[in-house]
Amino acid sequence: MSIVNNKKRIGFIGLGIMGSSMAGHLIAAGHQLNIFNRSQNKGTQNLIEKGAKWFDSIGDLAAESDVIISMVGFPSDVEEIYFGTGKILDNAKGAYLIDMTTSSPSLAERIAVEADKRGCHSLDAPVSGGDLGARNAKLSIMVGGKKSDFEAVLPILQLMGANIVLQGGPGAGQHTKMCNQIVIASTIIGVSEGIAYAKKVGLNPSVVMQSIGEGAAGGFQLKNLGIKMIDGDFSPGFYVEHFLKDLGIALIESKKSNLVLPGVSLAKVLYEDLVSKGYGRNGTQVLYKKYIEA
């Protein structure tokens, strides 16, 4: 089944910093957009003004959607919206279920099993690229699930991302996202320390960026979050509390494979301290404060 030439009823659950932009691309492409969020906000209002249909119930949304996309905060949220009484799995009718939350691989596997029992099609499809990637439809989307299901929804995923890869069966997308977060964890530490060092020894960090940003140290974290660190901009593109959740998942999964990740362990300790000081709703670049306020 391909949906490339058909406009579908797409349900979208979770309209935060990234979700609202992602959903916006779907309605702009002409799909009927059904939306649910814990509360109505500026993002939901903008979507409603563009023609999205608001639902007060996840179950009602699921019953009236051909494709259901979720982009919520934590694995516990994913479990609730899928397995909760009267929620997605109780009401979806042959729908394609795409969880784009960064969540637990084992939970993705459970959803796939239950979806299959109910005649639905499940994919775990976490993303990377933050709010900027979501706004520009340039997200990297890491997918786990059946190849036939992946091919069926690929045209929809292409409305939100530019680098979309099927990594394997159920849970493979989430495992790939863990690889992504593991790399980012130590990278953000390095960016914070490099900029802090430049400042402490009397260099102009912005001028330093002109050199190292185009050298071997160059990369997304340095060029995007590094600039925000220098400017003192700690507004969220990705919440600290969500990144801390991801690090916890990575450590749990790595322990199952007897793999030690000292970089992730250090990042987790540093971010836990920031959360205890009230920075949980800041962007991950707020790690820089650990160095400039020391």
CA distances for 87 relative to 78, 90, 130, 143, angstroms: 11, 6, 28, 23
The average pLDDT across 196-211 equals 97
Torsion of CA 169, 35, 77, 265, to 10 degrees: 70
The average pLDDT across 63-92 equals 97
Query: Which residues are registered as beta bridge partners of 76?
Result: none
Domains of the chain by residue range: 9-169, 175-292
Query: What's domain 9-169's superfamily in CATH?
Result: NAD(P)-binding Rossmann-like Domain (3.40.50.720)
pLDDT for 149 equals 98
Query: In one letter, which amino acid is 131?
Result: D
Residues tagged active-site: 177
Torsion of CA 221, 227, 228, 230, to 10 degrees: 120
**Residue 32 pLDDT class (50, 70, 90 cuts):** very high
How many CB atoms within 10 Å of residue 16? 20
pLDDT tens digits, residue range 88-132?
999 999 999 999 999 999 999 999 999 999 999 999 999 999 889
Q: 9-169 and 175-292: same fold?
A: no
CATH number of this structure's domain 175-292:
1.10.1040.10
